[in-house]
Amino acid sequence: MRLLDLILNVLYPKYCLLCLREGLYICARCKTLLQYYNGPCCPVCKGLLRSQKYFIHKICKKHSNLDGLFPLIHYDCRSKIILGEAKYKYAQEVLVEIADMLKPIYSNLPFKIDYLVPVPLSREKKNYRGFNQSEVIAKAIGWKYKNILQRLRDTKSQAISNRSERITNLKNAFIIDPFYKIKDKNIVLIDDVYTTGSTLEECAKILKEAGASKVVAVVWAKD
């Protein structure tokens, strides 16, 4: 641990967001109370998959641009408290702990990873919050993280829209940074939470249209 981190921990000790125990924002005991997924989920039917080679059902594949979805925990009352602190009270250190929890999933993906790509925020929202939570997580996970996707405009909440509204809402919301060549590349999208899935689907669509070979999503929480 860096000397600066040691000093900050003395001056501003961390307390678990769920039980107030000193030490970490998500203590070891409270981690055991979170509800974990036992493997990847099909991005279409949401069913669990056991294969080490295929992460979306063959019959579902034609309905999704994602090749797999890897959630860690369920999006419940506990995970909502943690993410609320990280996103709306600006505690980026919480996101680093979330990234540490995701590292085993990322490290054990059974294919070569070319890029680790965070889901982008609009410039307005990023300026207001001061950071993009998905970018903080991706950067803390691994050195392959790149801001390949850029968000052109803000969009209204996906959770309050029906399916057709979500599709229209996200149309032309993202572009790819032309600096990166992604043809035939394997890409891991990183996001904090998966709710409707529309944003990750649109990101995957843009990447696949540009020639990406495989696009999977790794998320901390999924409803």
> Are 55 and 214 in contact, with CB atoms under 8 Å apart?
no
More confident residue, 158 or 97: 97
Mean pLDDT across 138-143: 95
Cα 54 to Cα 63, 97, 122, 202: the distances in Å are: 15, 29, 33, 21
Q: Is 25 helix (H, G, I), strand (E, B) or coil?
A: coil
Closest CA to 96 of 37, 139, 59, 146: 139
- Domains in the chain with CATH codes: 1-33 (no CATH), 34-222 (3.40.50)
Q: Which residues, including other chains, have CB under 8 Å from residue 42's CB and lie 6 or more apart?
A: 48, 49, 55, 56, 57, 60, 69
Q: State residue 127's pLDDT score.
A: 84
Q: State residue 202's pLDDT score.
A: 94
Q: What is the mean pLDDT of the chain?
A: 88
> Are 40 and 55 in contact, with CB atoms under 8 Å apart?
yes
Residue 154: pLDDT over 70: no
Instruction: Tell me the C-alpha distance between 157 and 53, whole Å.
Output: 34
Instruction: Tell me the C-alpha distance between 90 and 82, whole Å.
Output: 11
The full 3-state SS of 5-19, as one line of letters, equals HHHHHHHCCCECCCC
Alpha helices in 34-142 (DSSP H): 77-88, 92-107, 123-129, 133-141
CB atoms under 10 Å from CB of 187, counted, come to 27
> Are 149 and 176 in contact, with CB atoms under 8 Å apart?
yes
Instruction: Tell me the C-alpha distance between 139 and 176, whole Å.
Output: 18
The token pair at 169 is 């809402």
Give 75-121 pLDDT, tens digit per residue.
999 999 999 998 887 688 999 999 999 999 999 999 999 999 999 98
Q: Is 193 helix (H, G, I), strand (E, B) or coil?
A: strand
Q: What's the chain's length in residues?
A: 223
Give 192-221 pLDDT, tens digit per residue.
999 989 999 999 999 999 999 999 999 999
pTM: 0.89
Residue 119 DSSP code: P
Q: Which residues, including other chains, have CB under 8 Å from residue 121's CB and lie 6 or more apart?
A: 129, 132, 134, 135, 151
